[in-house]
Amino acid sequence: MDQAEQLRSIIKANNIQKSLARVIAVTSGKGGVGKSSTSINLAIQLRKLGQRVIILDADFGLANIEIMFGIMPKNNLSDVIYQGKSISEIITWGPMEVGFISGGSGIAELSNLSRNYLVSIIRNLSELDSIADIIIVDTGAGISDAVLEFLIASGEILLVTTPEPTSITDSYSLMKALGNHPGFFQQTSQVKVIANKVESHNEGQALFDKLNAVVGRYLKLPITYLGAVPWDNHLTKAVMQQMPVSLHAPGAKSAQAYEAIAAKLMNKELNRNVTKRGMAAFFSYIVTGRKNND
């Protein structure tokens, strides 16, 4: 039995024994569009709806999540791999008991482990399914191989874009790269767009319509509109105070927009085709997908 088959058998066993977390990747075609702020505020709003939420910071180059939370994590994913810590020991708990895991270089290092050691690590990481209902993966920006792997492994993708022409172009480029990836399958992946930093909901809808037109025409890929987040002064003040706007100013237009988007994410009718993959499937795909592409 090769590594991929062994990991699939572990996933199957885990799926039978317990419920699976819903894994949502938040991404963007370029930096500076508010991707990490979106991850944090949606986590807060989903927590308000009674969901247990953990954010996995998979943006290795930056530490946006910990900066925005104002919390310095003591451990990261590498400590599970090399220090023998359990997954529960590396979770940092932020406001409203939203969990946060610093990826560090841990995910990249998974592909270098021996099979038996990897199997043990994957089992440990799969314990996240019993700790969280929803795991938000805050990816890096852009179209690197690592970002694309996270998106494919998650299946449910939130693409954050803004009215800036470069943001729209980069979002299209990301969709093109995703569609051309050999591991991407439309039947098992959903892309949902969030229009950020808009002046009005009408501008957000127009932004989505523009992106949807070119993606549909040239890439033949389906995307859906999740909602718009208007820019307001409360967002700036919240960032300066290292606090999510959803907690800093719950009545702000931006906070209310995040609340509406979170409600859409929890709407059973709108999300009836969402498949809960769980973290064992997520991490094992990252590992076997990389090895198959080497």
pLDDT in tens, the chain (294 residues): 455 565 556 555 555 446 789 999 999 998 889 998 999 999 999 999 999 999 998 876 556 777 777 778 888 888 888 888 888 999 999 989 999 998 766 566 666 666 666 777 777 888 899 999 999 999 888 888 878 888 988 889 999 999 999 999 999 999 999 999 988 888 888 999 999 999 999 999 999 999 999 999 999 999 999 999 999 999 889 888 888 999 999 999 999 999 999 999 999 877 877 778 788 788 777 777 655 554
Q: How far apart are the first and last CA of the chain?
A: 20
CB 282 within 8 A of CB 54: no
In one letter, which amino acid is 275? T
Query: What are φ and ψ of residue 123, in 5° steps?
Result: -60, -40
In one letter, which amino acid is 141? A
**Per-residue DSSP letter, 181:** S
Say how many C-beta atoms besides its own lie within 10 A of residue 181's C-beta: 17
Element (H, E) at 153: helix 145-154
d(CA 114, CA 209): 47
Element (H, E) at 97: none
CB 131 within 8 A of CB 17: no
Of 95, 33, 60, nearest in space to 286 by CA = 60
- pTM of the complete model: 0.89
CB 205 within 8 A of CB 213: no
Q: Which residue has the tokens 């954010």?
A: 55
**Per-residue DSSP letter, 103:** -
